[in-house]
Structure formats: structure tokens, C-alpha cells
Structure 1
């Protein structure tokens, strides 16, 4: 790894340090992380998974993502909102996911909040993207040390999500979420994905 935080791979593509060499992580870095996501259900899924990540590494969640999707009904908020205590007990016994009662209950509460935002407001996607005026913030960091762990935007979004009924949405978790769903392009400038993600964020 270079001093900037870039890793040079055998394919000649410099990548952000956190992707490491794990093929699953590299593929996630190259195809998902930083790509603007506007689908409300996909945004709900990613926010929930980032909440489950709290205290863990993202690769731990990534390796279990298919298990999470199966256990949580494909992250369909309408179905999750109807989960009962029997479902909580089922999930607490499911070794494919992170078995944390507070996070499981938070997922159910978040689904109900998602439905309220969809029914009564601009929709979950618009609710989030309005905090950045509908377009990705383009990061300009050239080194790992320049990447923020939270921002005024992540603090504002976290506060708004909590007010709606979401949990595990502190400013650090929300900033990681914003990076992942392309609300902010935090690929290092020297990373081969910075330019493509910036292009995806340009007004059409």
C-alpha cells in the first residue's frame, strides 16, 4: 500500500486501501461502493446493513449479505414492518446474520418508519437525497488521512432518521452509508473508481 492509502493490484488498477485483496471486497469496491443509488428499498437495505456493521468490519456483513436478505424477506419494508416477536425469536436463532436483538428490532422499526416516509412524505430516496441537493458530493481526498468519518450532512441525516424512528443511525454510520450509496464520492482521487463515480454523479 502506498503512503496515500492506495493499493496497486496486479491488474494495474490502484484502489482505496480498505478494499484490501479479498476478491469479494475488491468486487464490492469496483462495482457498488460510491455508485449513486436512488432506489428507496435498496437505500433502506444498505442503511440497515450499515447499522448491523456497527462494531464490526464491513467485510463481515458483506459475507453474510445473502443470509441477511433471506432472513429479512429480501429487505422488503412492507413485509418486515409486519414482523412479530416470533420473527424476532426466529432471527435471533439464525446463524446467517448478526444476532443482535436491538438491531433486529431496529430493522423492524425502520421498516415502519420507511413506510410512513413513503406514504406521507417525498419518499425515502428523496428524503435522503434532498440533504445533498439531489446530487453526490464530490470528495477530493488524495490520502487516507483526508477522508472524514462524519460530516455536517451525516449529522443532519442521522438526526432526521432518528426523529422518524430509525436507530443505529449515528453520524459515523450515516457517513459510511453515504459513501457506500454514492451520496458522497469518497474514492481517493488516485483510485481508478473516482472518475467513473464522479461521472455518474454529474447532472444529466
Structure 2
């Protein structure tokens, strides 16, 4: 069975690739979780973030958007000190900030999912890559979405982060053609 090469021999990365990466999600809580984790990854490796995912879930009440939006500075400091999360305080604060931004988007669009998936006409973009090194780090679309998220007040949502997010939540299928997870059309 052929597969994408980027997970390497890391069991956690392989499981994430095989069961989760690129699977279309329309669930606001999950979309918020992945946006948070992708933002936390900025400047780090995805394997580090995945190794801390359970701690993030515990610290942020399974990424409950309302809960995260109500966190105060003392609670955010407590998360930094007492949970195995990335210790970058601006990234921790961005969870509260971005949760508030998601709540505003939900009011305007009915859901975070509606807002995001409208960028791809509510269906995944299926790419045609022969090798992993062909994948772009960002696209015009991720740049456009990044700009709008920033305009709406989101933090840690640069175009590279947003492209990774789009791949993660299935807005873009970037599995190589020979990978068993690639969508056939």
C-alpha cells in the first residue's frame, strides 16, 4: 500500500495521516481545534504539536469555543504553567482571541464551517501531486483566507498556517496520487 512520505516512521504522525489528515470536516469545534493546533505549530514541527494534543484538549476543555472565549489572563497563565502545551504566551492567548473571532463568524455566517467552506464552494479541492515535495507551502487561496481572518482579528493565521489548516480539515486533498488516502474523482 502506497502512502504519503511526510509522516515517516513516526507512529503518531502515521496514524494522523491515515485517519484524519485531509478528511473533510464541517464541525466547528474540530475546525477550531485544528486552527488552534496549526497556529501553535508556527515555527515548530507538527510532530511536536501532535505529541501535545491531548494536553491541549485537556487545557482548553476539548476546544469548546465558548469556554475558550471566556478564559481570563490568570487561567491562560495557569494553562502555560500546568499543561504540556507550547509555552509561547502569545499562542496561548490566541486561543481565547480566536475563539471570540469564531463566535463572531458564527453569528454572521451561521457557523464557522459555512464561512470556511464557502472559500472552496463547499467541496474539497482535489490536487494532483506525484510527490510530496511538489506540495506548495501556501496558495493564493490560503493567502486570501489568511487576509480575511486577520482582518476579522484572528492571530497566528498566516498563509502557510492556513494552507496547512486547509489540508488538515480536508478543504484541500494534498495526498499524493499513489497514496491510499487520495480522493479519486
TM-score (norm 2): 0.96
C-alpha distance in structure 2 between counterparts of 1:26 and 1:69, whole Å: 20
SS of the aligned residue for 2:38 comes to helix
For 1:58-137, list aligned pairs within 5 A: 58-137=46-125
Range 20-29 or range 46-55, more displaced: 20-29
Alignment coverage as a number of residue pairs? 185
SS of the aligned residue for 1:142 comes to coil
C-alpha distance in structure 1 between counterparts of 2:159 and 2:67, whole Å: 28
C-alpha distance in structure 1 between counterparts of 2:50 and 2:16, whole Å: 9
For the pair 1:154 / 2:142, whether they are aligned, the reply is: yes
For the pair 1:184 / 2:167, whether they are aligned, the reply is: no
For residues 77-136 of structure 1, the C-alpha deviation after alignment (integer angstroms, 9 at most, x for no partner) is 101111101112101203411111101111100000111111232320010000011000
Question: What residue number does 1:9 align with?
Answer: none
For the pair 1:25 / 2:36, whether they are aligned, the reply is: no
C-alpha distance in structure 1 between counterparts of 2:94 and 2:150, whole Å: 11
Where does structure 1 lack aligned partners over 5 or more consecutive residues? 1-12, 200-204
Larger Rg: 1
Range 125-134 or range 95-104, more displaced: 95-104
1:163 to 151, 155, 166: 151
SS of the aligned residue for 1:15 comes to coil
C-alpha distance in structure 1 between counterparts of 2:95 and 2:163, whole Å: 19
C-alpha distance in structure 2 between counterparts of 1:192 and 1:14, whole Å: 6
C-alpha distance in structure 2 between counterparts of 1:25 and 1:105, whole Å: 26
2:45 to 48, 57, 61: 57
Measured after TM superposition, the shift of residue 142 of structure 1 is: 0.4
- Report runs of 4+ in structure 1 exceeding 2 Å deviation: none
Question: What residue number does 1:46 align with?
Answer: 34
C-alpha distance in structure 2 between counterparts of 1:45 and 1:18, whole Å: 22
TM-score (norm 1): 0.87
SS of the aligned residue for 2:6 comes to helix
